[in-house]
């Protein structure tokens, strides 16, 4: 959807007006995984002075591939609006403007506290898989760009309409989420009786995100995640997503129009004094990809797999308000880890990135980033440009 400049001005005026309701100061910067909240969780935390809550996050990036022109981009600006109807019922929304001219609703859900540690949620929500899909505000992760495997495999930002429960079992140091979601869309009609495939080998399921845009549903999907907080400074996650993709009514009975999806994710975060670390492993098994590729002419793999590990060290004294992290991240991911039928694995889809750089938190909620990425894949004739990146991010 194209966003006119007048609409942009209107949104900014709305943001400024709503802010006049008043909010208490809330520090968006914490490196303790057990205390870290994402944008929606902050709105739900009640750490504000009024029933109307307003926030925002955004980032401006500069990417310079070797041998090519650089790119400057207001990659995203996200406006957050929430409202507390009473002490048990809240509404959370995120309106995202991407690249200045695209407008999306990223989240819009109602949260109702059924009982102690049991919340009922319904609406457009983030699917709990991995770290960055839920925690993608620019002050919460190192690196100018989000990890590449999150874009290709999970795929962030992954959100759909759903209903479910969430909460925390304090005696077990265990958080939980369980939802029924609308699923990926794998095929659609092309307007002339043919079939278009939306999923492909290079980025797996990414093209099938429906994003609540007049989404079609035939096969509800189940999403579950557990987070363990029982070790000081540590947060461990186990997630699962199971179901089947969707297709338009006219073609959903065709063999290969939909695929089965089983995705498992493991993630961990750790912080101790000036050191932080995180890691993630994602594995997805896709069923009926041979029939899907035969119907659509696409090259979707049957197994998607990837992982990354990252370490960071604060170069400034721990008591300083400002933080300067030097970090390095290694990630390996393959969207053709396995294929079905006569489809041969494309080695260009077996990728490796090494990212190292600095993350400078000049104030809580304001970050300046710079890094260099060494990027490669397993195809002998393929050349992937290494890249220098700089960015500014805010979150309040």
Please provide the average confidence, as pLDDT, over all residues in the chain: 91
Written as six digits, the tokens of 332 are 């390996």
Q: How many domains does the chain have?
A: 1
DSSP string across 27-90: ------TTT---HHHHHHTT-SSSSEEEEEEEEEEEEEETTS--EEEEEEEEEEEEEESSSSEE
Polymer length of the chain:
396
What's the confidence (pLDDT) of residue 38? Answer: 84
Q: How far apart are CA 356 and CA 31, in angstroms?
A: 19
Residue with token string 């659609």: 188
What's the confidence (pLDDT) of residue 20? Answer: 42
**Which domain range does residue 51 map to?**
5-395
pLDDT tens-digit series, residues 268-288: 999 999 999 999 999 999 999
The arithmetic mean of pLDDT across residues 375-391, rounded, is: 91
Instruction: With a cut of 90, say whether residue 4 has pLDDT above it.
Output: no
Instruction: With a cut of 70, say whether residue 48 has pLDDT above it.
Output: no
What's the confidence (pLDDT) of residue 291? Answer: 98
pLDDT tens-digit series, residues 235-272: 999 999 999 999 999 999 999 999 999 999 999 999 99
The arithmetic mean of pLDDT across residues 89-94, rounded, is: 96
Cβ-count burial of 85 within 10 angstroms (0-12 exposed, 13-18 middle, 19+ buried)?
A: exposed
What's the confidence (pLDDT) of residue 29? Answer: 57
Phi-psi sector, 137: left (phi>0), alpha (psi -120 to 50), beta: beta
Is the full-model pTM beyond 0.85? yes
pLDDT tier, 53 (very low <50, low <70, confident <90, very high otherwise): confident
The arithmetic mean of pLDDT across residues 172-198, rounded, is: 94
Instruction: With a cut of 90, say whether residue 209 has pLDDT above it.
Output: yes
Q: How far apart are CA 140 and CA 276, in angstroms?
A: 12
Percent of the chain past pLDDT 70, that is, above it, reads: 91
Q: Is the dihedral of CA 44, 49, 51, 56 positive or negative?
A: negative
Give the β-pairing of 275-287 and 303-314.
antiparallel
The arithmetic mean of pLDDT across residues 231-236, rounded, is: 97
Instruction: With a cut of 90, say whether residue 172 has pLDDT above it.
Output: yes
pLDDT tens-digit series, residues 297-337: 999 999 999 999 999 999 999 999 999 999 999 999 999 99
CATH number of the domain where residue 344 is located? 2.40.160.10
Q: Which of 51-60, 73-82, 172-181 has the lowest mean pLDDT?
A: 51-60
pLDDT tier, 347 (very low <50, low <70, confident <90, very high otherwise): very high
Instruction: With a cut of 50, say whether residue 292 has pLDDT above it.
Output: yes
């Amino acid at each position: 959807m194209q966003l006119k400049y007048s609409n942009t001005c209107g949104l900014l005026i709305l943001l400024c007006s709503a802010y006049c309701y008043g909010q208490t100061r809330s520090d968006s910067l914490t490196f303790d995984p057990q205390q870290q909240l994402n944008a929606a969780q902050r709105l739900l935390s009640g750490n504000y002075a009024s029933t109307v809550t307003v926030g925002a996050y955004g980032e401006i990036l500069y990417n310079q591939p070797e041998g090519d022109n650089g790119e400057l981009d207001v990659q995203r600006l996200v406006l957050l609006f929430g409202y507390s109807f009473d002490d048990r019922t809240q509404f959370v929304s995120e309106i995202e403007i991407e690249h200045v001219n695209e407008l999306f609703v990223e989240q819009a859900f109602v949260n109702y506290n059924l009982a102690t540690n049991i919340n009922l949620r319904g609406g457009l929500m983030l699917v709990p898989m991995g770290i960055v899909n839920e925690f993608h505000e620019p002050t919460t992760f190192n690196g100018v760009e989000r990890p590449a495997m999150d874009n290709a495999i999970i795929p962030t930002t992954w959100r759909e309409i759903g209903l479910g429960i969430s909460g925390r079992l304090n005696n077990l140091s265990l958080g939980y989420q369980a939802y029924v979601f609308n699923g990926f869309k794998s095929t659609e009609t092309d307007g002339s009786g043919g079939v278009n495939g939306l999923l492909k080998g290079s980025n797996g399921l990414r093209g099938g995100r429906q994003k609540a845009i007049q989404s079609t549903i035939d096969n509800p999907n189940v999403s579950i995640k557990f987070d363990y907080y029982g070790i000081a400074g540590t947060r461990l996650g186990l997630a699962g997503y199971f179901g089947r993709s969707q297709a338009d009514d006219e073609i959903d009975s065709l063999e290969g129009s939909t695929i089965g999806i089983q995705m498992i994710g493991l993630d961990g975060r750790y912080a101790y004094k000036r050191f932080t670390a995180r890691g993630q492993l994602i594995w997805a098994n896709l069923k009926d990809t041979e029939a899907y590729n035969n119907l659509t002419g696409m090259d979707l793999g049957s197994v998607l797999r990837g992982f990354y590990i990252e370490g960071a060290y604060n170069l400034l004294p721990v008591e300083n308000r400002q933080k300067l992290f030097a970090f390095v991240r290694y990630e390996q991911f393959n969207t053709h880890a396995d294929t079905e039928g006569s489809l041969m694995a494309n080695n260009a889809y077996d990728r490796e990135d090494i990212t190292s750089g600095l993350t400078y938190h000049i104030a809580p909620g304001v970050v300046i980033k710079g890094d260099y990425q060494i990027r490669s894949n397993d195809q002998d004739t393929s050349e992937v440009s290494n890249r220098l990146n700089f960015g500014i991010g805010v979150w309040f």
